């Protein structure tokens, strides 16, 4: 019999975390292979849902999801959509029916805050609860946890990356690296040691669709283009089936069934969808309005037809991503399937038709991103410089200029880590302060880009306009995180 003996001197083990919109996973490398660890739910997948109860009680995972219909304002799901965003972001209020705390100042408006039964929490704090739960599970199984690699979508901007890293820190994790999700998937397939080339990563999750074109060139993964739809995923399939379930239960199109009934129909719909991945037909029994019960039956052909329009939307995003990268589907060296919803056979067939090749799917699509994160964590912990993994900046970084334009200090797709500087000057006589507005994005005008930070360099001695020499340094580390420093060169003020 094998006994797991607790060894107090066991070396801390590095872990990889896929902090997903719908589900989160923690993995590590054991005997050279990535494996998923069991979460508090007893499965590899931990639903990314946090419930805030009375007296400071916090519940994470499937148990939290069960509260969603009963206590919707205390149950935060899909918190990833809010990470690194401000209340000043026009999209935020449409992202969920939570109770938001109205910001009392422009500074407070920079982060979203939820009122969960009288308690105020930020997306960073909610994410930290998920990470804390995963860390605890990992500690139980590995005894001691070393650093963690946490994945983020390739299109995440600096504020979203900073917030993810803050969540890790708050959870007591040493975040070794933030890694792009598609890059993680490519790593899990070991592409970095196999071949250089151009790869498409098709990621259909619960509520988001992302497509990324990656170029691999001697250990450097470059994101050539990204695209997708932030409101498209497996949950939409559930909603389509749920409409049929509700009809069978006796609710017509004009009825507004109570939330518990909708919740019940959605749960049933998800069961049907999952069953149809392995079987040609699925049946569930649901209660009928007014008493009794009824059967809902769906076969795969009908389901495939139902989800056709959803797949067409992913197709359009893929074609756009190919166009943005200036390549034809035929030029690809591989296509990788990521996300639980790519288990659906029709999705696989659709991707095959779209790209004209068999996609890589040997690795479990729910776990592939976490596996890649674990591989990267293992490489970093072992200081193996055999594979030096680099990534590129997803969006250009710059400074707002006088006329409201943007001076691009670091263009998108620059390989990171990287540093650069740009020199500015004063535009008025005796100007003693200089405001630096750091923005990220590709648009011509600063107001159309993402505003990352504003700061003012003060104490510049009075000089005629154009005499001061202000050097602004940008440094982006391997996580894609930016640090900005400004120096007035004639005086050395920093």
Report yes or no: 171 and 132 within 8 Å, Cβ to Cβ. Answer: yes
Q: Please provide residue 468's backbone torsions phi and psi, each rounded to the nearest 5 degrees.
A: -65, 145
Task: Provide the minimum distance between the beta carbon of 340 and ligand ADP in the complex, in angstroms, as a whole number.
Answer: 2
Compare residues 24 and 426 and give the one whose CB is closer to Mg ion. Answer: 24
CB of residue 27 to ligand ADP, shortest distance in Å: 14
> Minimal distance in Å, beta carbon 341 to ligand ADP?
4
Say which entry of ligand ADP, Mg ion, none residue 273 contacts (CB below 5 to 8 A, set by partner kind).
Answer: ligand ADP
Cβ(160)–Cβ(127) under 8 Å?
no
Contact by Cβ (8 Å): 11, 144: yes
Contacts of 307 (CB under 8 A, 6+ apart): 237, 240, 344, 346, 347
In the region spanning residues 16 to 55, those forming contacts with ligand ADP, defined by CB under 6 A, are 20-23
Which sign, positive or negative, has the C-alpha torsion 365, 370, 373, 379? negative
Nearest distance from C-beta of residue 316 to Mg ion, angstroms: 21
Q: Are 159 and 452 in contact (CB under 8 A)?
A: yes
DSSP state of 311: H
CB of 415 to Mg ion, least distance (A): 25
The span from the first CA to the last CA of the chain, in angstroms, equals 65
Q: Which is nearer to Mg ion, 95 or 418 (CB)?
A: 95
Is the CB of 208 or the CB of 226 nearer to ligand ADP? Answer: 208
For residues 293-316, b (16+ Cβ closer than 10 Å) or e, as one string? eeebebebeebbebbeebbeebbe
How far lies 487's CA from each of 262, 410, 416, 471, 491, in Å?
A: 58, 18, 23, 5, 8
* 233 vs 359 by CB, closer to ligand ADP: 233
> How far apart, in whole angstroms, are the C-alpha atoms of residue 392 and residue 222?
5
User: What, of ligand ADP, Mg ion, none, does residue 157 touch, CB below 5 to 8 Å by kind?
Assistant: none
Q: Report yes or no: 51 and 64 within 8 Å, Cβ to Cβ.
A: yes
Identity of the residue, 205 or 359, whose beta carbon is nearer to Mg ion in the bound complex? 205
Mask for 158-197, x = binds ligand ADP (CB under 6 A): ----------------------------------------
Phi first, then psi, for residue 72 (nearest 5°) are -60, -30
Q: Report helix angle 158-170 to 123-142, nearest 10.
A: 50
Q: Which does 208 bind (CB under 5 to 8 A by kind): ligand ADP, Mg ion, none?
A: ligand ADP
Q: Which is nearer to ligand ADP, 21 or 376 (CB)?
A: 21
By CB under 6 A, residue 61 contacts ligand ADP:
no
The least CB distance from residue 333 to ligand ADP, in Å, is 24
Site for ligand ADP in 349-368 (CB under 6 A): 366
Tell which one of 27, 191, 245, 344 touches ligand ADP (CB under 6 A). Answer: 344
* Nearer to ligand ADP among residue 23 and residue 162 (C-beta): 23
The contact set with Mg ion (CB under 5 A) reads: 20, 205
Query: Under the criterion CB under 6 A, does residue 150 sit at the interface with ligand ADP?
Result: no
Residue among 33, 50, 28 at smallest CA distance from 149:
28
With b meaning 16 or more CB within 10 Å and e meaning fewer, what string describes 26-52?
bbbbeeeebebbebbbeebbbbbbbbb
Q: How far is the CB of 448 from ligand ADP (least distance, A)?
A: 28
Exactly one of 168, 205, 228, 372 binds ligand ADP (CB under 6 A); which one? 205
Which residues within the stretch 252-271 sit at the binding site for ligand ADP (CB under 6 A)?
A: 270
- Which runs of E-coded beta strand occur in 3-69? 13-19, 23-30, 33-36, 46-47, 49-52, 58-60
- Applying CB under 6 A, among 273, 346, 437, 450 the residue interacting with ligand ADP is 273
Q: Can you give the binding site for ligand ADP, defined by CB under 6 A?
A: 20-23, 205-208, 233-235, 270, 273-274, 277, 339-341, 343-344, 366
């Amino acid at each position: 019999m094998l006994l797991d003996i607790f060894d107090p001197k066991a070396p801390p083990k590095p872990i990889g975390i896929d902090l997903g919109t719908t589900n989160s996973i923690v993995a590590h490398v054991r005997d050279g292979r990535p494996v998923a660890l069991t979460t508090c739910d007893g499965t590899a997948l931990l639903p990314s849902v946090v419930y805030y109860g009375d007296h400071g009680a916090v519940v994470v995972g499937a148990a939290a999801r069960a509260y969603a219909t009963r206590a919707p304002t205390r149950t935060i799901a899909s918190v990833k959509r809010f990470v690194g965003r401000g209340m000043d972001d026009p999209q935020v209020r449409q992202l969920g029916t939570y109770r938001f705390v109205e910001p009392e100042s422009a500074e407070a408006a920079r982060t979203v805050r939820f009122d969960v039964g009288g308690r105020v929490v930020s997306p960073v704090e909610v994410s930290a609860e998920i990470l804390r739960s995963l860390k605890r599970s990992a500690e139980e199984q590995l005894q001691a946890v070393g650093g963690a690699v946490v994945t983020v979508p390739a299109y995440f901007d600096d504020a979203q990356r900073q917030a993810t890293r803050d969540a890790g820190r708050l959870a007591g994790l040493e975040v070794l690296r933030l890694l792009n999700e598609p890059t993680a998937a490519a790593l899990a397939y070991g592409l970095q040691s196999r071949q250089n080339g151009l790869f498409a990563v098709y990621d259909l999750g619960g509520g988001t669709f992302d497509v990324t074109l990656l170029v691999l060139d001697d250990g450097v993964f470059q994101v050539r283009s990204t695209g997708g739809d932030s409101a498209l995923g497996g949950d939409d399939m559930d909603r389509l089936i749920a409409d049929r379930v509700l009809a069978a239960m006796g609710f017509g199109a004009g009825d507004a069934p109570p939330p518990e009934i909708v919740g019940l129909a959605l749960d049933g719909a998800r069961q049907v969808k999952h069953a149809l991945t392995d079987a040609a037909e699925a049946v569930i029994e649901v209660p009928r309005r007014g008493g009794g019960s009824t059967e809902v039956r769906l076969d795969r052909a009908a389901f495939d037809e139902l989800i056709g329009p959803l797949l067409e939307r992913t197709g359009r995003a893929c074609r756009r991503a190919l166009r943005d990268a200036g390549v034809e589907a035929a030029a690809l060296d591989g296509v990788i399937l990521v996300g639980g919803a790519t288990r659906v056979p029709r999705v696989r067939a659709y991707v095959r038709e779209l790209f004209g090749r068999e996609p890589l799917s040997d690795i479990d699509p729910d776990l592939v991103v976490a596996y890649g994160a674990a591989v990267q964590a293992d490489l970093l912990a072992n200081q193996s410089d055999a594979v030096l993994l680099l990534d590129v900046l997803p969006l250009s970084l710059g400074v707002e200029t006088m006329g409201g334009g943007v001076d691009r200090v670091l263009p998108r797709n620059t390989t990171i880590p990287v540093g650069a500087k740009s020199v500015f000057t004063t535009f008025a006589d005796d100007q003693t302060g200089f405001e630096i507005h750091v923005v990220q994005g590709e648009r011509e005008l600063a107001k159309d880009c993402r505003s990352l930070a504003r700061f003012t360099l003060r104490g510049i001695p009075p000089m005629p306009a154009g005499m001061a020499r202000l050097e602004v340094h940008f440094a982006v580390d391997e996580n894609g995180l930016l640090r900005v420093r400004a120096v007035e060169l004639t005086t050395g003020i920093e």
